[in-house]
Each structure stands twice: as C-alpha cells, then as structure tokens.
Structure 1
Amino acid sequence: MPLRHVLLAVLVALVWGANFVIIDAGLHDMPPLTFAALRFVVVLVPAIFLVRRPDVPWRDIVLVGMLMSVAQFGLLYTSLHLGMPPGLASLVLQVQVMFSVILAAVALRERPTARQQVGVLIGLIGLVVVAVGRSAATPLLALMLCLGAALAWAGGNVVARRVGAQSGLGMTVWSALVVPVPLLGLSLVLDGPAAIADGLRHADLVTVGSTLYTAYLCSLFGYGVWNTLLARHPAAVVVPFTLLVPVSGIATAWLARGERPTTGTAFGGVLLMIGVAVTVVRLRRRPRAVAEDVGLVSKSPQGFPALQVGCEDR
C-alpha cells in the first residue's frame, strides 16, 4: 500500500476512535436509532446532488448500506444507549478485523495464512476475557449488540471489497439512501413517536455538533476514504488499520470522561490487540515472482490481489 494511503488510513482510524465519545455525548436526549438516522440524513443532503452514483449494481449499493450503515450503526448506537462505555466499545468493535478475515476467506477466497489464523484465535480469546472481565456496570446485552455491530461492519468490508467501486465517496453517499427510513421505522416501533418528537424538540448544540462530526468527518470523509482503499487493496491489508481506533477511542474516553478499564478488560483488550497485530504483521517483502511460484500471492475471483501471505515493507 502506498505511503499516502497508509497515512489516510491512519487519519481515518483516529477520527473514528474519537467518534465513540462524541456519539455518546449526543445521545443524552435522543432515541439512538433516530439519532443514527439523522446522521445519514445529513450525509445525504446535499451530497446526493453533488456526488455521482458509483458504477455498481443497485443491489450492491443497498447491501453495503444495510450492513455498513443500518446494521452497524443501529446496533452500535443502541449499545451505547444501553450503557456500553465508549472506550470499551471502540475496543470491542475491533473484533471486526477477525470477522473480516474469516468472511473474506469464505466469500472472496482470500485465504488466511497460518499466522493470521493464530492471530484470529488470540483475538477471540481476548474478546472472551473482555466479556468476562467487564465491569458490572456494562450490561451483557450492550456488549452483544456491540459485537453484532462488529459483525455487520465486517460484512460491509467484504461486500465493498467484492464490489470494488472506484468512488468510495460515491458508495458512502448513495448507500446512505437506504439508511434513514429503516432506522426511523425501527425507532417508531421501539421508541414510539412521542419519544422521537421529544428528542428532536430538545436537540441542543451538543446533539447538533455530534451529528455534524459523525456525518461529515466519520461518514463522508472516513467511509469515503475507507471504501476507496478497500476497492484498491485486499480487505486483509486495509482493515488492520482499525488497530489504531481503540487507541484513539480509549484515550479520548479517558481524557473526556475519565473512563478507566477494569483489570480484566485491560488484560483482555491487550490480548485482543495482540491478536489483531499478529493477524496483520507484515515483514520484509519477498520477490513477487518467488511468492507466486510458491503460491503466496494469488488472484481472487474478481481479479484483485487476494490475501497476501508474503509480508512486505513499503
């Protein structure tokens, strides 16, 4: 991956890390699914009139929107609303790296290496330790919803990778078309119209600022860059940069909220991050010809380079 793409991936991870505290701050008077829907209304208008639709089938645009936006953020916002600490959420959501590798192996035939398989196993063990060692103030349901959000994100990663849309921003904006109505519909069913009206009536500057941050920085900038990188590089190369998300998220939660992890959560978090690191560590590059001769570099069915077993420096 070129250096400029590496730097963009790092910046996106830092923006996404601070996102958890900012979302949680905006949730104080707003039903979570309504708040998530508002985010994507802001994403859509006026961008939908300025950004060209990606040259991919509508079914793929809808699938990306339903997985990466409706499912991921509907579950995440609800998890935070139910008491999931923002810093812990930023950590747990990184299990999507393991989910992405597993799903890419099944759906895209991007075969994981032995090292990556070990990393996935370590990460999943760390996740179990986090679940067991979490504080009593963290509801199990909130944790499970956060895991569901991670699985949805991983599914969105793999679909975006398979589609290979050249315009990441276009995919972000146009896939947002399918987001507000399902989220608002669910909010009407689960929260009721009175709660939605009350939340909108009491929206303040914190709610507005949170919505603008999540819409413009996290969605338009973040996912625009992210989907572009996924279209140009294998999923197992791009998604590991989310390793930096919990670093930013935990630091932001500590500075802004004084949130400190329990000993069990900290230990499990270290294991989880080690698992992610082992999954994605890349050593010195082998010559491509040699790698191809021994089957270390292959092509996916879509013609993109598949999961690269040989490790490299660039």
Structure 2
Amino acid sequence: MNKKWLNYGGLVLIAVVWGANFGISRLAMESFNPVVFSFLRFGLAIPFFFLILKLTEGSVGIPWRIVPKLALIGLLGITLLEIMVMYSIKYTTLANSSLLNVAPWPIFVALFAPLFTRESITMRLVVGGSISIVGVCLVILGGGEGFTLSSENMLGNAMAFGVSIIGSLYNLSSISLMKQYSALRVSTWTIAFGSLFMLPLTFGAWGQTDWSALNTGHYLSIVYNVLICTVLAFVVWNACMFKVGATRSNFFRYAVPAAAVVAGYLMFGEKIALLQMCGAGCMAAGLIWISIERKRREEPVVPVTKTGGQMI
C-alpha cells in the first residue's frame, strides 16, 4: 500500500481514538477529579514512552540546549492545553466546546505554519478544508444541544477557542523539532515536562476521588487513556503529521466529533440526527479531497537521536 495512505489512515485512526475518548472520559469524570484524571493519563504514560524510546532508538537523552524549548512546549501543549479543555467543557455546553475547540484548530495551523515550516496553502487545501468545516459544524450543531452564545457560556467559549490557538502552536513547534529528533523522542519529553508541571495542580485533589468505589470500568478507562489515547496516539499522530505536514494533517481532527457522536450513540444511547450524518459525509468528502493532493517534493529530512552538546 502507498505509504501516503498509511499516514492518512493513521491520522483517521487516531482521530477516531480521541473521539471515542469523549464518551469514555465522560464516564470516568463521574468519579475522578478532572485534573487528577489528566495527570494519571499523562503521568502513567511516561514510563512507557521512555521504555519504547530506549528499545527503538537505543537512548533517551536530549541535549541541554533544547530543554527550555521542550519544557515550554510541554507546559503549553500538555499542561495548559489539557486544563483549558477540561474547564471549557465545564463552563460551556459540549456543543460549544467541541465546535470552538475542533473547527478553528486546523485554520490556525494553516495561518501559523509559515512561521515554523515551508508549508504553503493550496487551493485544494482551502476547498477541502472549507467542506470539512461545514461538515464538522453540521455534526456538532445537528445534535440536541446546539450552539448558544449565552453570557453564562462566554468564559467556556473563550477557553475552548483558546485551545485551538494553543494547540496549533503546540503542533507546529513540535514538528519543527522533529526535523532534528524523532517524533517519539519529542513526544516523550514534552509529555514528561507537561506532566511535571501538572503535578502541583493535583495537590489537594486526590482526596476528592473515592478510590474504594472505583470498579473495573474506571480502571479500564485509565488504561485506554494511557496506552491508547496517549502512548499510541501521540506517537502515531506526530509521526504521520511529520510525513503529511502540519496544515494538511490537522484537518483530520474533524473526524473527532463524528467519532464522538458514534461513541455517544453506543455508550449513552444518544440519537444520531440526519443532519449529523450529512455532516459526516461532508467531512469525509473534504478530507478525501485534501488527501489526494500530491504534496510538493521537499528535500528528505532524517530525524537524528543525537546532536552536538551534552545529553541528559
């Protein structure tokens, strides 16, 4: 099979994984403090990342000179981003949060991309992205909640919109480092730093969880979040994003709401409206249109595991 389609398939797979996690995490939030659950997701993933990195690349170190950059990426892209996602859901409707989080993200990636990469915006990308945006709006707004601009939702709306901006910068800053280091090495260290910064925010929150009341489903939700949504997802997404390009790959995030709608149907018996099915069709058409564009040939970039400078 053409490697290009393997990369696109990887992006779709991870979007589905993240979309399904909306339902799984909703179940978990009935018992867990949101910040504690997020820390468990990323903190427990760290040993797996370092083990895989050691086994596949032979070392885990990074030069001291890039530590500040990786720490900043981890602080913004893991700690701050995840907290804003949680509280945007808390202070606005799920429809508002989903729409303002997902829809603008690829647009900001396209706008900021020239600052980090040599990617250009093509007419096919514009057309396909526009069709996908219409599709994601239909999927989210076709549900029962709809979109509301009520004043009581403004804080959550602003935070959800901010997630798109921070997330796009996180993607682009990560992909710039992947020109020197592997996607796995970048993911490992950004998540390690992000978890470290998140730890103090959990102080005082651990007691809010009734650990004795947790059942098998709660522990399986943690396993899914750690191994599938974090370890597998971050490695596959970043590797595919590096091959496909940040701008093009981030439009595949539009598959997340569609997967979330299906998860709601399977887990909570939520109805799928005709408008949502039409939206899913629009998204698929837009993403396929983007996928069949032949990417401009660039000089190959080989990620390295070491560069000059002392390693940690």
Alignment TM class, shorter chain as reference = 0.7 to 0.9
Which residue number corresponds to residue 15 of structure 1?
Answer: 17
Aligned residues: percent identity?
Answer: 19
The 3 A distance-change label for structure 1 pair 90 and 218 is: farther
- State the distance in 1 between where 2:25 and 2:117 align: 33
The 3 A distance-change label for structure 1 pair 211 and 86 is: farther
Which residue number corresponds to residue 81 of structure 2?
Answer: 72
- State the distance in 2 between where 1:202 and 1:42 align: 20
- State the distance in 2 between where 1:243 and 1:174 align: 27
Task: Return the offset for 1:256.
Answer: 1.6
CA deviation string 1:241-282 (max 9, x = no partner): 22322221111112222445899x969x949x6699389625
Q: 2:226 aligns with which of 205, 215, 225?
A: 215
Which residue number corresponds to residue 63 of structure 1?
Answer: 72
Contact 1:115/1:279 (CA < 8 Å) preserved in 2?
A: no
Which residue number corresponds to residue 168 of structure 1?
Answer: 183
Which residue number corresponds to residue 293 of structure 1?
Answer: none
- State the distance in 2 between where 1:95 and 1:14 align: 19
Which residue number corresponds to residue 109 of structure 2?
Answer: 100
- State the distance in 1 between where 2:163 and 2:181 align: 25
- State the distance in 2 between where 1:167 and 1:21 align: 31
Secondary structure of the residue aligned to 1:281 is helix
Amino acid at match of 2:147: R
- State the distance in 2 between where 1:254 and 1:93 align: 20
TM-score with structure 2 setting the length: 0.72
Contact 1:76/1:146 (CA < 8 Å) preserved in 2?
A: yes
Which residue number corresponds to residue 44 of structure 2?
Answer: 42
Q: Does 1:196 align with 2:206?
A: yes
Structure 2: 5+ residue stretches without partners? 55-59, 303-312
Of the two structures, which has the highest relative contact order with CA contacts closer than 8 Å and spacing of 6 or more?
2
Question: How many residues matched?
Answer: 286
- State the distance in 2 between where 1:270 and 1:210 align: 29
Task: Return the offset for 1:234.
Answer: 1.7
Structure 1: 5+ residue stretches without partners? 286-295, 305-314
Query: Superposition pairs for residues 112-261 of structure 1, below 5 Å?
Result: 112-117=121-126, 133-134=146-147, 139-164=153-178, 166-188=181-203, 193=204, 195-199=205-209, 201=211, 204-205=214-215, 206-259=217-270
Task: Return the offset for 1:42.
Answer: 0.8
- State the distance in 1 between where 2:297 and 2:5 align: 23
Task: Return the offset for 1:217.
Answer: 0.2
Contact 1:133/1:262 (CA < 8 Å) preserved in 2?
A: no
Q: Does 1:111 align with 2:124?
A: no
Task: Return the offset for 1:133.
Answer: 4.6
- State the distance in 2 between where 1:10 and 1:88 align: 21
Contact 1:87/1:249 (CA < 8 Å) preserved in 2?
A: no
- State the distance in 1 between where 2:258 and 2:98 align: 12
Contact 1:21/1:86 (CA < 8 Å) preserved in 2?
A: no
Contact 1:13/1:242 (CA < 8 Å) preserved in 2?
A: yes
- State the distance in 2 between where 1:199 and 1:298 align: 52
Root-mean-square deviation (CA, aligned residues, Å) is 4.1
Task: Return the offset for 1:126.
Answer: 8.6
- State the distance in 2 between where 1:144 and 1:123 align: 23
Task: Return the offset for 1:118.
Answer: 6.1
Contact 1:54/1:171 (CA < 8 Å) preserved in 2?
A: no
Amino acid at match of 1:59: P
TM-score with structure 1 setting the length: 0.72
Contact 2:129/2:286 (CA < 8 Å) preserved in 1?
A: no
